[in-house]
Structure 1
Amino acid sequence: MNYRSYHETIRRLDPDGRTVVGVILNNASRICWLFEEDYKAIVAKHGLCSWFLNSNGKGKSYVRLKGKHENLVQVSRLILGDSLKGNVTYLDKDHLNLRTTNLHVQGKSSKQKPKSKPLAKPLGSGLRIPMGSVNG
């Protein structure tokens, strides 16, 4: 997928009087919002690259960017710190609200089951046919 190598922005004041930057996402008619100082730090490191909405394959979309020679980077992780371990959560459940006051990092989820190999693989299609008497 080809994305523009730049992005457009708008600036506003949030209810607390802080300047926020709205980045218009390249692949969706949506805007993500973050504090101006976070935006400036990201642009200083990654330049005016493409920002877009990217699905995680499980029904949720996240704001990501792609620099010239980089893999896709989740913007919320850049704001909170690249080396953080765990899951980024959004306090108001809005993945377009990238203000630091809305972002939180949780440790690895205890709900995740440890990876283990299945004990046995089904043969064929996996369809299980009950074995019983053919005579009724």
Structure 2
Amino acid sequence: MSTTAARSTRHRRPPIRFRDEHGRECLKVPLDRFGRKYATATERGYQAVQEAGATGAWYLNSNGHGGSYVRTHAGETLLMPARIIAGAKARSVVRYVNGDPLDLRPENIILQRGAAKRADAVIVADSVTADQDGEW
């Protein structure tokens, strides 16, 4: 197991299940080992991130400009679960309708044309395929 993978699983708390105001199965995904910060995602969104190969712990990561965003790892690749949940392609930017980057439910994530250079779900799929083909 790599150092990054060991670090991301060492103190992971399990997500907390709940029903949101729309009656959907959702999860509060811990972002720290102390249980002070959580991201909210539908169960379907959380599963999409896991199925894309991103099995590391979710955590807050600063963007360097005063904002923080939810991140996770797929192997050594740093990903944004919001981009995977929204199906963001290259050249699309994730925006949060209510301004809360911890709310990763579909109605809070919109995509706009912008400067993003990557498509996280594609990066994960390519990495998983290469790994399964033994090209690492």
TM-score by length of 2: 0.70
Query: C-alpha separation between the residues in 2 aligned to 1:48 and 1:7?
Result: 13
What letter matches 1:8 in structure 2? P
Question: Which structure has the highest helix share of the two?
Answer: 2
* Shift in alpha-carbon separation, 1:72–1:47, aligned structure 2, 3 A: closer
Query: C-alpha separation between the residues in 1 aligned to 2:90 and 2:43?
Result: 22
Structure 1 residue 75 and structure 2 residue 81: aligned? yes
Ranges in structure 1 where 5+ consecutive residues have no aligned partner: 110-136
Ranges in structure 2 where 5+ consecutive residues have no aligned partner: 116-136
Query: C-alpha separation between the residues in 2 aligned to 1:92 and 1:17?
Result: 19
* Shift in alpha-carbon separation, 1:82–1:104, aligned structure 2, 3 A: closer
Query: C-alpha separation between the residues in 1 aligned to 2:14 and 2:24?
Result: 20
**Equivalent residue in structure 2 for 1:87, among 87, 93, 97:** 93
What letter matches 2:29 in structure 1? V
What letter matches 1:39 in structure 2? Y
* Shift in alpha-carbon separation, 1:48–1:75, aligned structure 2, 3 A: same
Query: How many aligned positions are there?
Result: 108
Query: C-alpha separation between the residues in 1 aligned to 2:110 and 2:76?
Result: 25
**Which has the bigger relative contact order, CA under 8 A and spacing at least 6?**
2
Give the match for residue 15 of structure 1: 21
State which structure, 1 or 2, has the greater radius of gyration over its C-alpha atoms: 1
Maintained 8 Å contact 1:7/1:49: no
Maintained 8 Å contact 2:91/2:113: yes
Give the match for residue 47 of structure 2: 40
Query: C-alpha separation between the residues in 1 aligned to 2:51 and 2:92?
Result: 25
Query: C-alpha separation between the residues in 2 aligned to 1:87 and 1:44?
Result: 22
- Between the aligned residues of both structures, percent identity stands at 31
Q: Cα distance, 1:83 vs. partner?
A: 2.2
Query: C-alpha separation between the residues in 2 aligned to 1:49 and 1:7?
Result: 12
Maintained 8 Å contact 1:27/1:53: no
What letter matches 2:47 in structure 1? K
Query: C-alpha separation between the residues in 1 aligned to 2:8 and 2:72?
Result: 11
Q: Cα distance, 1:86 vs. partner?
A: 2.2
* Shift in alpha-carbon separation, 1:72–1:81, aligned structure 2, 3 A: same
**What aligned pairs does 1:1-136 form with structure 2 within 5 A after superposition?**
3-5=7-9, 6-26=12-32, 29-46=36-53, 48-67=55-74, 69-108=75-114
Deviates more, 1:84-93 or 1:11-20: 84-93
